[in-house]
């Protein structure tokens, strides 16, 4: 492995590159940059570097402990968990809770569209960004797990997802999007949904990682 790849394939760098998906939104909250600017400049570079690292480390020995697994299985696990997360919230949405209402707003900010624009492009872009965040969470999670035993993956996934949401609640997220939902109800729904996300992520990783690294199955 060459020196540049060796550096890029470390846990802190992979974690930092994946976190750019969230930085895109957080910068908008604090007026550091617009989502559109960040998504057109920084985020594509970070995504391309993750793809490069995953491809370059795909045949490394013991790849269950390599960047390939953190990126590929983390992204797939995060995507799976995001789908489960949304399915859990769907009954509440059908009963009138505006839990999916932020997605078109993501799309509006990413595309520079008007606040009244609710077209297909805005909807699709917003949902894609939502799923990209789920994938980023999966990559960041696996990049942090030093001992991926079945127990650590399940409990770690749950704690990671709930911890991320708790930190997000400390940002202007709720007020920024003018969510028309009682604060206590919002907290209960969003924390429970993220708990589901974390467990789903842990289950995915528990199922997939032993096939890549048999030592995990004995953890």
Confidence (pLDDT) at 60: 66
Confidence (pLDDT) at 17: 98
Confidence (pLDDT) at 210: 61
Return phi, psi of residue 210, to 5°: -60, -30
Confidence (pLDDT) at 134: 97
**3 state SS of 117:** coil
What tokens appear for 177 in the block?
Answer: 């999007």
Confidence (pLDDT) at 82: 98
User: Residue holding tokens 């697994």?
Assistant: 69
All residue ranges of the chain with pLDDT < 70 are 1-4, 60-65, 210-219
Q: Per-domain residue ranges for the chain?
A: 3-218
DSSP collapsed to 3 states, 45-81? HHHHHHHHHHHHCCCCCCHHHCHHHHHHHHHHHHHHH
Confidence (pLDDT) at 3: 67
pTM as predicted: 0.91
- Quick one: which of 161, 14, 13 has its CA closest to 77? 161
pLDDT in tens, 125-168: 999 999 999 999 999 999 999 888 899 999 999 999 999 999 99
């Amino acid at each position: 492995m060459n020196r540049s790849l060796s550096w890029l394939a470390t846990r802190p760098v992979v974690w930092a590159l994946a976190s750019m998906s969230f930085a895109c939104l957080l910068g908008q909250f604090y007026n550091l940059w617009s989502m559109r600017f960040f998504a057109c400049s920084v985020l594509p570079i970070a995504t391309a570097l993750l793809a490069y690292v995953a491809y370059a480390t795909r045949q490394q020995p013991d790849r269950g402990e390599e960047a390939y697994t953190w990126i590929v299985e983390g992204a797939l696990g995060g995507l799976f968990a995001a789908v489960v997360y949304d399915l859990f919230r769907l009954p509440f949405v059908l009963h009138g809770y505006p839990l999916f209402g932020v997605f078109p707003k993501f799309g509006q900010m990413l595309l520079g569209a008007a606040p009244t624009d609710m077209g297909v492009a805005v909807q699709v872009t917003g949902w894609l960004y939502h799923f990209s965040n789920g994938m980023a969470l999966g990559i960041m999670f696996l990049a942090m797990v030093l001992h991926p035993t079945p127990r650590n993956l399940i409990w770690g996934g749950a704690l990671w997802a709930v911890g991320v949401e708790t930190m997000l609640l400390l940002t202007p997220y709720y007020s920024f999007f003018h969510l028309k939902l009682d604060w206590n109800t919002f907290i209960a729904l969003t924390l429970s949904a993220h708990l589901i996300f974390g467990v789903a992520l842990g289950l995915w990783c528990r199922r997939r990682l032993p096939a890549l690294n048999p030592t995990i199955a004995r953890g």
